Amino acid sequence: MMLEHVAVRHAAVHHVAKTHPAGVGAAPAGAQESGTIRFRILGELSVEIAGRPLPLGPVKQRLVLAILLCRPNTTVSTDLLTEVVWGDDPPRSARKNLQAYVSALRKLLALADCQDRLVHQPSGYVLRVEPGELDLLRFDELTRAGRQAARLGAGAHAVRLLREALDLWSGPLLADLACSEVVREEAERYATRRLAVHEDWAEAELELGHAPAVADVLAEVVREHPLRERLCTAWMTALYRAGRQTEALAAYDSLRQLLARQLGLKVSPALEAVYQAMLDGRDSGQGPRGGREGAEAARGPDRPRTVLPADLPDFTGRWDQASELREVLAAGGRTVVLSGPVGVGKTTLAVHVAHGLEQQFPDGRLTVRLRREDGSPRHPSSVLSELCRVTGLLGAVPEDEEEAAAVWRSWLTGRRVLVLLDDAPDEASIRHLLPGSGSGSVLITSRSRLAGLGPLHRLELAPYTTGEAVELLGRIVGDDRVPADRPAAERIVTAIGLLPLAVRVSGTKLAVLRQLTPAEYAARLEQSPSLLDELAAGDLAVRSRLAGWWCELPEVVRSVVRRLGHLPAPLFTLAEAANALGCSEVVACRVLESLIEVCVLSSPIGEVSAHAALYELPLLAQIYAREQADAARQSDPSGPA
């Protein structure tokens, strides 16, 4: 029976996840070994195998590849692909034509033993790409690392990383495919990001006292972006410190006139202050923090370090869990795993607790994210490099990954440091980061319980209580609408499964739509045929977070969750699960236990009926799984749900 086979694989589902740690983003072994394929979009589109360019076919086929590379390791919907290729006027044969283009691209990738890279999903296609294979991913990685180094005062290292990121560009993004409106929008978005990196690089160079080089490089960039105040400020400062004071003052006057003539605006107070300092001769040429050597030298290798995201001012509830974490971590020498489903607030709680432990960890509190912005896992060497930069080990880090891990663990020994490893995809991604001994502590957040790490202190985070959810909703909305109609507020948070992320989205929506009463919004949520579409406000969207979680699950897990998604309610019995899965209760029990291990399901303590445990699939996860099952059935009516 198929489910018997599923159950056997589920018995060690974390091993399945380790085999494919990046979900849809993991490259096949053959491609990783060959390492010969290179994708470039920071300029004109090109693909090379062993240094030889591939013929990419007609423009429409190139457009399909281009937008897949703009969003690597992420499902690109068929609708978006159609819009990229044909705009608002697609032909009736658009879907078949897309399939033909995808088929041709698969044949091209097969030349580099990459035939499994371009994967069909229910709603579109995913192109699997490793960080070292795509210049865009490399640009993002170098930018993040460079900015981190700059924040920590490692000026010379920041300059090198940011310059390397900028050198990846040979022209505007996908310059040869600007015929597509969608591509032009992507190009504009990344042009802004590239410009910000120019500004970061310039400011870091100025900290090091390299004004002449900055003045020459920025001259051309300013000509292309004359209204960018931060860029102009860096250029003015570079000119002034390079002894070109007249040009610096003229640059200010040109910007002032341009802003007034084109936008009717005055220069910002910050830029005005820089200008006045130049007039008064108060710019010493030593950078805003004083000293051309930067803060790295001032800090020294053993000064305390704090690298934490901001604590949320509206942090709500979780008092018992926060108290437990503080007590365990403060004891020193402890490793704690904080697990729970997507959107339950693991990172928020971890950061909140870390902010309150300054006295207990005098040698520093450090945070490193183990995933990229698109949700795919970062390579261990990238994480190690970031941690070593944070701790001032820039010159001591060997290239070999195991040796670098040893250097990191050696630094931890004897230091009372709190390390927050955020959003760990699996055990393998963090095992080499854990200290062998010492008085420091490690807090790991993950969607899995990470059972393979052995006996550690574990805390699983559940959705809010009704009271906590209503309290957070009221804080975010900010007026008297929530306190004035608590029953409606309770209906809202119940309709969204008490998930903290969903509460934050709902509160944001109510705060923006001030004409909407809680009762009206509650009715909308309760009656909506597509609840997940209601849970979006700006760039906060529950659906996108669930989509990332779903893509990461192995297909064997998704096939089971799709079936459980069609149960009448999120809470169900073993017998109901066995019936939905079409297997015996013994097999179903093993399957459900393996899903609990990776936090797909929970078994609420005390929730028993006739001596049988109850299981719970979070409400919004159940809705998403049901949608995926319906989509799979529509795309292949003869296949399994």
Which whole-number Å values give the CA distances from 373 to 74, 184, 384, 548, in the listed order? 11, 22, 18, 11
210-285 belongs to which homologous superfamily? Answer: Tetratricopeptide repeat domain (1.25.40.10)
* DSSP code at position 479: S
Q: CA 279, CA 510: separation in Å to the nearest integer?
A: 49
305-460 belongs to which homologous superfamily? Answer: P-loop containing nucleotide triphosphate hydrolases (3.40.50.300)
Q: Are 366 and 443 in contact (CB under 8 A)?
A: no
Structure tokens at 323: 């108290």
What is the reported pLDDT for 393? 66
Q: What is the largest CA-CA distance in the chain?
A: 86
The separation between CA 66 and the C-alpha centre of its own chain, rounded to angstroms, equals 21
Q: Are 462 and 318 in contact (CB under 8 A)?
A: no
CATH of domain 23-193: 1.10.10.10
As averages over each run of 10 residues, the pLDDT of the chain (641 residues) reads 40 35 34 64 91 89 94 90 90 91 88 75 88 88 83 78 93 92 90 91 90 90 89 92 89 89 83 86 49 34 69 90 93 91 93 92 90 81 80 62 76 86 90 83 92 87 92 90 92 93 92 90 90 85 88 88 90 89 90 87 59 79 89 66 52
Q: Which of 207, 259, 261 is nearest to 237 (CA)?
A: 207
What is the reported pLDDT for 353? 94
Label residue 118 exposed, middle or buried (CB < 10 Å: 0-12, 13-18, 19+): buried
Q: Which of 89, 64, 78, 60 is nearest to 635 (CA)?
A: 78
What is the reported pLDDT for 16? 31
What is the reported pLDDT for 408? 81
Global model pTM greater than 0.85: no
318: left (phi over 0), alpha (psi -120 to 50) or beta: left
437: left (phi over 0), alpha (psi -120 to 50) or beta: beta
Backbone phi, then psi, for 63, in 5-degree steps?
-65, -40
Domain 554-635 has CATH 1.10.10.10: yes
Q: Are 247 and 239 in contact (CB under 8 A)?
A: yes
What is the reported pLDDT for 286? 42
CA-based torsion, 190, 193, 199, 204: positive or negative? negative
Structure tokens at 214: 């900055």
Q: CA 288, CA 305: separation in Å to the nearest integer?
A: 20
- Interhelix angle 181-207/135-151, rounded to 10 degrees, is 30
Rounded CA Rg of the chain: 27
